[in-house]
Copies of this chain bind each other. A is one copy, B any other.
């Protein structure tokens, strides 16, 4: 029955999505910075981290991993072990570590910039 009168929460999802834009790359690369992982595992990990604010969907994750691989930031290997359904494990490369450093710098710059702006406005309101 959510038909009309939904204009708030329907917008919330989009708002959240737009705000989080670009953070998927940082989150994924950060996790891979601590060790190799396969895609589905990354997805599940991010679903639980930070109350789900960093959750990314399959349609986002897999293309992202392919972009990172094409850019040379990560490498992929299929691993079957004993299982019939093999997993694709990703590992970060030196270039990927450089990129991760850059991303972290940009992210904290943005966070600090926004914090400074909001703080300045609060002072002003005094």
Q: B-contacting residues of A (Cβ < 8 Å)?
A: 12, 15-16, 18-23, 26-27, 30-31, 33-34, 49-51, 53-54, 102-104, 106-107, 109-114, 116-118, 120-121, 124-125
Q: Is the CB of B18 within 8 A of A50?
A: no
- CB nearest neighbor in B for A121: B34
A116 and B50 in contact (CB under 8 A), knowing A15-B102, A19-B110?
yes
Interface residues of A: mostly helix, strand, loop or mixed? Answer: helix
Residues in B with CB closer than 8 Å to A103 are: 15, 19
How many angstroms from the CA of A116 to the CA of B30 in the assembled complex?
12
Q: Is the CB of A15 within 8 A of B20?
A: no
Identify which of A12, A104, A109 gathers the most chain B CB atoms within 10 Å of its CB: A109
